[in-house]
Amino acid sequence: TSPLKIAVIPGDGIGTEVMPYGVRCLEAAGKVFGIELSFETFDFASCDFYEKHGDMLPPDWKETLSGFDAIYFGAVGMPDRVPDDVSLWGSLLKFRREFDQYINLRPCRLLAGVKCPLAGRKPGDIDFWIVRENTEGEYSSIGGKIFEGTDRETVMQETVMTRTGVDRVLRYAFDLAQQRPRKKLTSATKSNGISITMPYWDARVREMAKGYPDVKVDKYHIDILTAHFVQHPDMFDVVVGSNLFGDILSDLGPACTGTIGIAPSGNINPDRAFPSLFEPVHGSAPDIAGRGVANPVGMIWAGQMLLQHFGFRDAADAVLGAIESVLARGDADVVTADMGGKGTTKSLGEAIEAEILAAKK
Ligand code: NAD
Ligand code: IPM
Ligand code: MN
């Protein structure tokens, strides 16, 4: 068999600091489980590249990346140097759209050894998936400005929901819920205030539910849903939301499980017409960049999702197992500051790598 070809894009800030440990952990899993992986690193999709070339990506980026099985992505954004809308619409959001990665899958799990900011919660109490629509919705480029510079200055941006776009993310979420023991799906809505697109979303949920009689479905408006995330995180099994709601929930969820530094995400094209992209949920964290103290777990766990995506279950389980055992030990010299430790990206990354290497095939 030919090796799995992985395009490595570290990006900016802590993306470049956590990526080496992500790659090392994937290499370790490949070694132990006999999976052939090849890596090629690209300097585009970074603000350095933008400053050199005037664009976030080279003209042939799509051709280049299409030759890979998967993209392993760090984080992009240096808002003091390049406006965020320019750097993100010029890179990550382009990948998601042009590679039709219409599912953004984000686990939310309270792991042993991680201090939970919510009182009285223990591992097992928080264990759900966020399924975020990833190619349309509130993230649209349809809109504009008129009467600029006058008192009548007006800006507009349209939310776009297509039947295909909504149905395919709902179907994925229902399928996922059906595979889980609790078979429960929660839909994020705001159909009381957003009176055209959100009632449409709700109607498509009702329609889709007819095909999944065994899945328990509920829905909450996004405002109270955020409160339930904090007060009753044990309610959730699979949570499906539009692009913006899913974005917000997927920082809130991991924050409820200790830190966004551990959260991974899979930007998935289930049809496999294009490569899928695996990345941490967090950004480039300019506030801590350059100090070597970023938590590498989100990056490493994203690698675990990559392995899972290609059906390398044992390897994926070993990576998650390694993350869990290192965090459960909770050695203060190893874990990073966002988890209450005094460790570094290196100490935590290498501890997980060593644990993977010690795993039995
Ligand atoms: P952020 O996720 O970069 O940081 C938010 C806070 O969490 C910061 O205080 C940061 O120090 C902390 N943090 C994040 N990841 C951490 C980690 N691994 N370990 C320890 N602490 C961590 O979000 P932001 O500050 O809103 O955005 C910074 C830049 O990143 C912006 O340019 C933004 O647009 C971009 N961004 C990119 C992505 C991406 O590439 N996927 C995601 C989110 C934000
Ligand atoms: C994420 C990020 C991106 C998003 C930003 C950087 C455009 O926050 O992946 O969650 O909003 O999707
Ligand atoms: Mn986000």
42-93 pLDDT, tens digit each: 999 999 999 999 999 999 999 999 999 999 999 999 999 999 999 999 999 9
| Alpha carbon nearest to ligand 1 atom 20, residue | 294
Instruction: For residues 122-131, give the mean pLDDT.
Output: 96
What is the 301 CA–ligand 1 centroid distance (Å)? 16
Residue 361's pLDDT is what?
A: 76
| pLDDT tens per residue across span 242-300 | 999 999 999 999 999 999 999 999 999 999 999 999 999 999 999 999 999 999 999 99
Among 47, 93, 94, which residue has the most ligand 2 atoms within 8 Å of its CB, making it the best to mutate? 93
Residue 39's pLDDT is what?
A: 98
Given CATH 3.40.718.10, say whether it is the number of domain 1-102+263-361.
yes
Q: In what order do the strands lie in the sheet with 276-280?
A: 37-41, 4-11, 70-75, 276-280, 264-268, 103-109, 127-133, 238-241, 184-189, 216-221
279 lines ligand 1 (CB under 6 A): yes
261 lines ligand 1 (CB under 6 A): yes
Please tell me the distance from the alpha carbon of residue 329 to that of residue 112, in angstroms, as a whole number: 9
113 falls in which pLDDT band (50, 70, 90)? Answer: very high
Query: Fold identical between 1-102+263-361 and 127-256?
Result: yes
Among 284, 300, 339, 346, which residue has the most ligand 1 atoms within 8 Å of its CB, making it the best to mutate? 284
CATH superfamily of 127-256: Isopropylmalate Dehydrogenase (3.40.718.10)
Residue 267's pLDDT is what?
A: 98
| Alpha carbon nearest to ligand 2 atom 8, residue | 247
Instruction: For residues 16-45, give the mean pLDDT.
Output: 98
Please state the ipTM of this predicted complex: 0.99
Instruction: For residues 223-238, give the mean pLDDT.
Output: 97
Residue 290's pLDDT is what?
A: 98
| pLDDT tens per residue across span 187-213 | 999 999 999 999 999 999 999 999 999
Structure-block tokens of residue 170: 């709902």
Read off the pTM: 0.98
- Asked whether the predicted pLDDT for residue 130 surpasses 90, the reply is yes
| Opening angle at CA 82, ends 242 and 18, nearest 5 | 70
360 falls in which pLDDT band (50, 70, 90)? Answer: confident
Among 73, 104, 278, 282, which residue has the most ligand 1 atoms within 8 Å of its CB, making it the best to mutate? 282
Q: Which long-range contacts (CB under 8 A, 24 or more apart) does 59-62 make?
A: 62/98
- Asked whether the predicted pLDDT for residue 106 surpasses 90, the reply is yes
Domains of the chain: which residue ranges?
A: 1-102+263-361, 127-256
